[in-house]
Amino acid sequence: MTIPICNRRDFCVHSLQTASLAALAAALTGCGGGSSGSSPTGPSGLPALPTINGTIVNNAIAITVDATSSLSAVGTAALVTASGRQFLVAHTGQNTFVTVTAICTHEQCTVSTFQNQMYECPCHGSQYSTSGTVLRGPATRPLTQFTTSFANNVLTITVG
């Protein structure tokens, strides 16, 4: 068996390539998710929110909440996308809903997971209550809350 002879330069080049790949793998693993918020679960394994599409008309979003809606039961939540903006909506009581912005105050990732009345940012693990209060950082500022009203199975979110 012949062992190839490698010079010092070849050794250094291969060592640096190996170290670079190891560093890249560690950096990608440590990120915890992409900034798009498309991760199916957050860092704690919380499930992804269902998405509802809407449109902003006269500074308001109107969403029908009936038996087929992902917001039909108390305790549920959804990610609402409307006119290029994203909102988190939680059904908190019989006829009560709370809406907050879906953009994390830490590094502007889309908050996209929810469980047990808690939202989580998939990028760095910031956690928020349904009212937008920070439960765990690195975020230090709450999510912005919006006025909601509910009548005749229509949830209206005032965003202007």
Per-domain boundaries in the chain:
51-158
pLDDT in tens, 43-102: 667 788 999 998 899 999 999 999 999 999 999 999 999 999 999 999 999 999 999 999
Please, what sign has the CA dihedral across residues 108, 106, 82, 39?
Answer: positive
Q: Report which DSSP code applies to 113.
A: E
Q: Please report, rounded to a whole number, the percentage of residues in the chain having pLDDT higher than 70.
A: 72
Q: What is the pLDDT of residue 148?
A: 96
User: Where is pLDDT greater, at 33 or 16?
Assistant: 16
Phi-psi region of 59 (alpha: psi -120 to 50; beta: other; left: phi over 0): left
Q: Report which DSSP code applies to 102.
A: S
When pLDDT is averaged across residues 15-41 and rounded to a whole number, the result is: 41
Q: Is the pLDDT of residue 108 over 50?
A: yes
* Residue 96 in tokens: 């009560």
Please, what sign has the CA dihedral across residues 96, 148, 91, 66?
Answer: positive
**What does each C-alpha distance from 159 to 56, 98, 126, 136, 139 come to in angstroms?**
8, 12, 24, 26, 23
Residues 6+ apart with CB under 8 A from 40: 47, 48
Q: Is the pLDDT of residue 156 over 60?
A: yes
Using the structure block, give the residue that is written with the tokens 């009212």.
131
Q: What is the pLDDT of residue 129?
A: 95
> Which value, in Å, is the radius of gyration of the alpha carbons in the chain?
22
Q: CATH number of the domain at 51-158, please?
A: 2.102.10.10
Q: Is the pLDDT of residue 118 over 80?
A: yes
User: Where is pLDDT greater, at 154 or 40?
Assistant: 154
pTM of the predicted model as reported, rounded to 2 decimal places: 0.72
Please tell me the total number of residues recorded for the chain in this structure.
Answer: 160
Q: Is the pLDDT of residue 6 over 80?
A: no
125 pLDDT band, cuts 50/70/90, is: confident
Q: What is the pLDDT of residue 93?
A: 94
28 pLDDT band, cuts 50/70/90, is: very low
Number of Cα atoms under 13 Å in the Cβ half of residue 70: 14
Q: What is the pLDDT of residue 107?
A: 86
